[in-house]
Amino acid sequence: MTPTPPAPAGTSPSSAGFSFRRLTALCVKETRQIVRDPSSLLIAIVLPVVLLFIFGFGISLDTNRLAVGVVMEDRGVEAVRLAAAAAGSPYIEPVFADTLAEISEKLTRGELRGIIVIPQDFTAKVQAGGGEASLQVLTDGSEPNTANFVASYARGLYESWLAARADAYGVPFSEAISIEPRYWFNPATISRNYLIPGSISVVMTIIGALLTSLVVAREWERGTMEALLATPMRRAELLLSKSLPYYVLAMLAMAICVLIAVFIMNVPFRGSIAILLLSTSLFLGSALGLGLLLSTTTRNQFNAAQGALNAAFLPSALLSGLIFEIASMPAAVQAVTYLVPARYFVKIMQTLFQAGDVWAILLPNMLFLLVSSIFWLGLTTWRTRRRLDG
Amino acid sequence: MSEPAVLLRGLGHRYPEQGKGEFALAEVDIAIRSGIITGLAGPDGAGKTTLMRIMAGLLKPSAGSVAVLGLNPVVDAGILHLKVGYMPQKFGLYEDLTVMENLVLYADLRGVGGEARKVQFERLLDFTDLRRFTERLAGKLSGGMKQKLGLACTLIGTPELLLLDEPGVGVDPISRRDLWGMVTSLAKGGMAVVWATAYLDEAERCDELCLMNEGRLIFAGTPAEQIGRMRGRCVQVRNLSGNRRHFLRKALGSTGVVDGVIQGESVRLVLKEGTAMPDAGLMASEAGAKAVPVEPRLEDAFIDLVGGGPDGRSVLAGTMPDVKLPEGVDAEAVIRARELTRKFGDFTATDHVTFDVRRGEIFGLLGPNGAGKSTTFRMMCGLLTPTSGEAQVMGIDLKRSAGEARQKLGYMAQKFSLYGNLGVEQNLLFFSGIYGLKGQAREKKVSQMMESFDLVRYRRTNAGELPLGFKQRLALACALMHEPPLLFLDEPTSGVDPVTRREFWMHINALVDKGVTVMVTTHFMDEAEYCDRIALIYRGRMIAAGPPDALKHQVASDDLPDPTFEDAFIRLIQRDDEAQRDKEGRAT
């Protein structure tokens, strides 16, 4: 081999300013890496499915067949009709008893999730009219979520009883009792319709942050960052190449989540796709930005991924209002929730799925998402160095 | 000559994590010219990489001025990055991209496209001989080819200044020679080239030299200047009848000797300025020995510049008891490998390797990266189970009772496996506990070790903050806690400065005197010369074995009457390649 030195360059490249060619080259490189490294695809495709099923069915399995005691102190026709509604419900497994004393012990032991007492005067009061008939619902307050479900089911039973009664007598049931529109839905899907869109927000926070948490740190660990920094590449080109491909990937994950929610979990979607796209994009600025920031500052894949998992999951699950009501938090904690982007996204998702394009709710939340994205991406840009030192 | 390509004046650098009085670089003045290769040489931690990064515009120096191609690297970084090609230590390649994809990426980043790109790619692929591999993933290339690809990526856009940070690391001597040839031709074409290296033999070939030590420039000029200064002061003492290790110790203790190393059966000495021959008293102890003047090397000059090597004494010798072999252990084979084989899937990392190691012998495993020497080594110390064949230490079968066998051996890993956030004393206490030392015996051993290795003043210092040489002493002390009859060393002195390396071998020599048997892996040719016998491992097989002098002798020819160990290494590997090709040729 007789080595010949390369001839001088034929072009006179310039380094000034932003170059789309460099950005494209970096994005192509990043995309090739994504395609060849299964971990990114795993995070974007498999993880949302797994997480969503855990969030979705974890809850619905619990609620599908709740053991609930039904105490029949009254044996009148209306009480029997109500008992029949309970027996026919796919969501509870009724355990019938004549007196509360018979089964109250079972509630204490946790064998029953709640007890519905049909009082002695139930039939009489219903037939007398005037809406004074009442049911007593006993639930286990130490498990507030389950307790809420049981309460919802009791209301649901009441509604199906009313409906059956309306059929039988041909009278509109609205006459008998005033019903809040919220409970028009099937009791089981009340919780699902509310929880699944919120869960998607949590899932997307985790996925967005995880996806980008690895990418800058990987360049540092493998020593390629030093070589990149020694080229005319600009900071903006680097950051964009580290966000755009992952934005596409995260959108894919989002699509998977929404499709699962709508077609497999049968959660109705009432908003518009365009708004969903726009708000998801606004939200991903924060999620991807958080991952990038961790990746940039730690320069270590393991630490960045650990950080992303904690920083994304914990606040989005605990402080977004999905599981715990924000209004019932202490004032200081409430103030902190304003910094959690998932808080706004949860609200947007719940609105889009359950109510549709309600601008009064969507607009302020989208505005907050925009501010939050600017904050996280800005912080990342500020922390990204064109040199190895500060 | 026109203006220098790089001009550094009063350059200093301190990293934020460094305390007062500590620095990475101090008062460095260097001028680098175009058209030649400038060697930036010095041990690890000398400040080479910091200096390279400053020249590449990746670090802002804390003091002094830098002009690279007339530009200020901090202010004009944008233009500078187009004119400077910088190859960092890890090549900067994307292992999950193919050779061509890597080239295209760097061409786009440097704005080289269209016709110019085509022409440059053609030339670079010819130049680096990578044309056959354009579709291969960079991660699947050998070390040497990775490095050529790294160089090709760096050369896109034809930089005026080429900065290569330790391009010789992790690459076998043959590829290193290829690379050297390429870089030489680039320099002849007018490029300014800086080649950073920790190998002084590599630095010796550079046109100009900047020698660094502990963040300071200790010499700038031509290697010939330094070597000329040492001429007449270097001798090789041959025909030693007695123990060459004892002779070396005696020589290093005598007043006229600056430095000394073992070279096979002989001892090479560097003498004080104005001394042509070792003093008569020393030579008198070895009747028949002959001191022959030899050509000086850059390493001699380096040792001389930093004030000479260690004096040859090892306090350690006094504290270690003589090794007594238990009944029934064959002194001719305290370590024994028979048809040792290890497979990973269908890849055979070690292929039917057989050898015996005698009591008190230093046995070296030498070979290019990935040749299988580490696999063989790990099987011998019970860290890997052989697929087939037999491995024994002190008569104990490693397949059956690896635990029992491990109690007999001291092990020092490549990257000193110490707890960086524990103090020196805490590390020693921990390792003595692991080896089952208790109570007073443990206390005694720990304080003895601290005294032997001069670690008392560092007893509360965290191991991670120790100077390199002391880290190494501590690692050795931990490995010797249980007074093992066998010592296993995995690349013990890679990245260590020459003085510390000598000191380390003084300790090893002292241990061998006590009957300790040493097995060592190394890729340092100089280090191989300390061994009594060498097994050359290549592609999983043992292709040659014997004393270093015998291996050298095997390749001696009329063209090369007095080959170095590196020559022997390269020739033996080439011969094996040829033999394999012949075999394949006949088979088809």
Highest average pLDDT, of B103-107, B122-126, B243-247, comes from B103-107
Interchain pair B58, A230: CB under 8 A: yes
In-domain check, residue A206 = yes
How far off is chain B from A192, nearest CA to CA, in Å?
42
Domain shared by A250 and A342, yes or no: yes
Cα B231 to Cα A212, A288, B210, B234, B558, distances in angstroms = 59, 64, 20, 7, 26
CB atoms near residue B586 (< 10 Å): 7
The reply to whether B357 touches chain A by the CB within 8 Å rule is no
Q: How confident is the model over B388-406, as pLDDT tens digits?
A: 999 999 988 988 888 888 8
Among A134, A155, A184, give the residue marking a domain's end: A184
Interchain pair A227, B91: CB under 8 A: yes
Q: How confident is the model over B230-253, as pLDDT tens digits?
A: 988 999 998 888 788 888 888 888
How far off is chain A from B83, nearest CA to CA, in Å?
9
Domain shared by A223 and A165, yes or no: no
> What is the predicted pLDDT for the residue at B463?
87
What interhelical angle do B468-479 and B439-452 show, nearest 10?
Answer: 150
Topology of the domain comprising B227-313:
Alpha-Beta Plaits (3.30.70)
Interchain pair B92, A13: CB under 8 A: no
Interchain pair A389, B186: CB under 8 A: no
With CA atoms as reference, the chain A residue closest to B90 would be A223
Q: Which helix (H) or strand (E) holds B361?
A: none
The reply to whether B147 touches chain A by the CB within 8 Å rule is no
The reply to whether A10 touches chain B by the CB within 8 Å rule is yes
Are the beta carbons of A136 and A68 closer than 8 angstroms? Answer: no
Interchain pair A388, B59: CB under 8 A: yes
Sorted by sequence, the CB contacts under 8 Å of residue A298 that are 6+ apart come out as A217, A304, A307
> CA nearest B13: which of B58, B49, B63, B56?
B63
* Domain boundary assignment for chain B: 6-221, 227-313, 415-483
The reply to whether A3 touches chain B by the CB within 8 Å rule is yes
Interchain pair A5, B97: CB under 8 A: no
Q: Which domain holds residue A249?
A: 190-383
In-domain check, residue A95 = yes
Domain shared by A337 and A246, yes or no: yes
CB atoms near residue A2 (< 10 Å): 7
**What does pTM read for this prediction?**
0.77
Q: Provide, rounded to the nearest whole percent, the portion of chain A with pLDDT above 90.
A: 37
Calpha distance A23→A14 (Å, rounded): 15
Enumerate the residues of chain B whose CB falls inside 8 A of the CB of residue A22. Answer: 108-109, 111
Domain shared by A301 and A263, yes or no: yes
Least confident of A262-266, B89-93, B116-120, B121-125: B89-93
Calpha distance B389→B418 (Å, rounded): 32
Number of domain units in chain A: 2
Interchain pair A5, B110: CB under 8 A: no
Are the beta carbons of B275 and B251 closer than 8 angstroms? Answer: no
With CA atoms as reference, the chain A residue closest to B94 would be A224
Enumerate the residues of chain A whose CB falls inside 8 A of the CB of residue B116. Answer: 9-11
Cα B69 to Cα A338, B55, B79, B136, B175, distances in angstroms = 52, 10, 10, 36, 30
Interchain pair A387, B87: CB under 8 A: no
Interchain pair B77, A387: CB under 8 A: yes
> CA nearest A347: which of A185, A148, A194?
A194
User: CB-CB: which of B91, B111, B185 is closest to A13?
Assistant: B111
pLDDT surpasses 60 at A53: yes
Interchain pair B108, A11: CB under 8 A: no
Measure the CA angle with vertex B225, ends B224 and B227; round to 5°.
60
Look-up: residue for tokens 């050998």? Answer: B142
Calpha distance B380→B375 (Å, rounded): 9
> CA nearest B349: which of B385, B383, B373?
B373
The reply to whether B89 touches chain A by the CB within 8 Å rule is yes
pLDDT surpasses 80 at B378: yes
In-domain check, residue A82 = yes
How far off is chain A from B188, nearest CA to CA, in Å?
9
Measure the CA angle with vertex B48, ends B45 and B49; round to 5°.
90
In-domain check, residue A340 = yes
Amino acid at B177: R
> What is the predicted pLDDT for the residue at A167?
75
Greater confidence (B376 vs B308) lies with: B376
The mean pLDDT of chain A is 82
How far off is chain B from A1, nearest CA to CA, in Å?
8
Enumerate the residues of chain A whose CB falls inside 8 A of the CB of residue B191. Answer: 5
Tokens of B469: 């040489």
Calpha distance B476→B453 (Å, rounded): 9
Domain shared by A146 and A280, yes or no: no
> What is the predicted pLDDT for the residue at A59?
57
Q: How confident is the model over B449-494, as pLDDT tens digits?
A: 888 888 888 888 888 888 777 888 888 889 988 889 999 998 887 7
Q: pLDDT band for position A144 (50/70/90)?
A: low
Tokens of A4: 């010949």
> What is the predicted pLDDT for the residue at A13?
45
Beta strands at B216-221 and B347-357: parallel, antiparallel or unpaired: unpaired
Tokens of B202: 């590599």
Q: How confident is the model over A91-115, as pLDDT tens digits?
A: 778 888 888 888 888 888 878 878 8
The string of DSSP codes covering B415-457 is S----TTSBHHHHHHHHHHHTT--HHHHHHHHHHHHHHTT-GG
Burial of A180 (0-12, 13-18, 19+ CB in 10 A): exposed
With CA atoms as reference, the chain B residue closest to A35 would be B96
From start to end of B379-418, where are the E strands?
388-393, 396-397, 409-412
Sorted by sequence, the CB contacts under 8 Å of residue B62 that are 6+ apart come out as B12, B13, B14
With CA atoms as reference, the chain A residue closest to B154 would be A227
- What is the domain-level CATH number for residue A111? 3.40.1710.10
pLDDT surpasses 70 at A138: yes
Query: What is the ipTM score, two decimals?
Result: 0.75
Interchain pair B111, A232: CB under 8 A: yes
Cα B135 to Cα B130, B132, B140, B141, B502, distances in angstroms = 10, 8, 11, 11, 45
Are the beta carbons of A239 and A381 closer than 8 angstroms? Answer: yes
Domain shared by A266 and A232, yes or no: yes
Domain shared by A265 and A334, yes or no: yes
Interchain pair B109, A22: CB under 8 A: yes
In-domain check, residue A25 = no
Look-up: residue for tokens 């002098």? Answer: B549
> What is the predicted pLDDT for the residue at B558?
86
User: CB-CB: which of B108, B154, B181 is closest to A22?
Assistant: B108
User: CB-CB: which of A29, A32, A231 is closest to B81?
Assistant: A231
How far off is chain A from B148, nearest CA to CA, in Å?
12
pLDDT surpasses 70 at A10: no
Interchain pair B97, A224: CB under 8 A: no
The reply to whether B194 touches chain A by the CB within 8 Å rule is no
> What is the predicted pLDDT for the residue at B339?
94
pLDDT surpasses 70 at A63: no
Interchain pair A13, B82: CB under 8 A: yes
How far off is chain B from A246, nearest CA to CA, in Å?
18
From start to end of B69-132, where are the E strands?
84-87
Enumerate the residues of chain B whose CB falls inside 8 A of the CB of residue A24. Answer: 108
Residues 292-351 of A with CB under 8 A from B: none
> What is the predicted pLDDT for the residue at B2?
66
Domain shared by A204 and A233, yes or no: yes
> What is the predicted pLDDT for the residue at A175?
43
Are the beta carbons of A235 and A17 closer than 8 angstroms? Answer: no
Are the beta carbons of B261 and B498 closer than 8 angstroms? Answer: no
Enumerate the residues of chain A whose CB falls inside 8 A of the CB of residue B88. Answer: 223, 226-227, 230
The reply to whether B81 touches chain A by the CB within 8 Å rule is yes
The mean pLDDT of chain B is 88
Enumerate the residues of chain B whose CB falls inside 8 A of the CB of residue A385. Answer: none
The reply to whether A25 touches chain B by the CB within 8 Å rule is yes
Topology of the domain comprising B6-221:
Rossmann fold (3.40.50)
> What is the predicted pLDDT for the residue at B225?
93
In-domain check, residue A58 = no
Domain shared by A204 and A140, yes or no: no
Enumerate the residues of chain A whose CB falls inside 8 A of the CB of residue B109. Answer: 22, 25-26, 228, 231-233
Q: How many residue pairs from chains A and B have C-beta atoms closer than 8 A?
A: 145
Domain shared by A196 and A285, yes or no: yes
Q: pLDDT band for position B501 (50/70/90)?
A: confident
The whole-number average pLDDT for the span B247-260 is: 86
CB atoms near residue A15 (< 10 Å): 21
Domain shared by A124 and A195, yes or no: no
Highest average pLDDT, of A120-134, A353-367, B235-249, B365-379, comes from A353-367
Domain shared by A326 and A342, yes or no: yes
Beta strands at B161-165 and B84-87: parallel, antiparallel or unpaired: parallel
Burial of B457 (0-12, 13-18, 19+ CB in 10 A): exposed
Q: Which helix (H) or strand (E) holds A96?
A: strand A92-97
The reply to whether A388 touches chain B by the CB within 8 Å rule is yes
Q: Which residues pair with B534 in a beta bridge?
A: B364, B546
How far off is chain B from A299, nearest CA to CA, in Å?
16
In-domain check, residue A389 = no
The string of DSSP codes covering B509-521 is HHHHHTT-EEEEE
CB atoms near residue A365 (< 10 Å): 21
> What is the predicted pLDDT for the residue at A212?
92
In-domain check, residue A146 = yes
Helix ranges (H only) for B26-98 are 48-55, 77-83
How far off is chain B from A240, nearest CA to CA, in Å?
14
Contacts 24+ apart (CB under 8 A), A171-180: A176/A126, A176/A129, A176/A131, A177/A131, A178/A131
Q: pLDDT band for position A145 (50/70/90)?
A: low
Q: Which helix (H) or strand (E) holds B13?
A: strand B6-13
The reply to whether B430 touches chain A by the CB within 8 Å rule is no
Tokens of B380: 């011998």
Look-up: residue for tokens 């720990």? Answer: B446
The whole-number average pLDDT for the span A48-77 is: 77
How far off is chain B from A238, nearest CA to CA, in Å?
11
Interchain pair A29, B101: CB under 8 A: yes
Among A141, A163, A184, give the residue marking a domain's end: A184
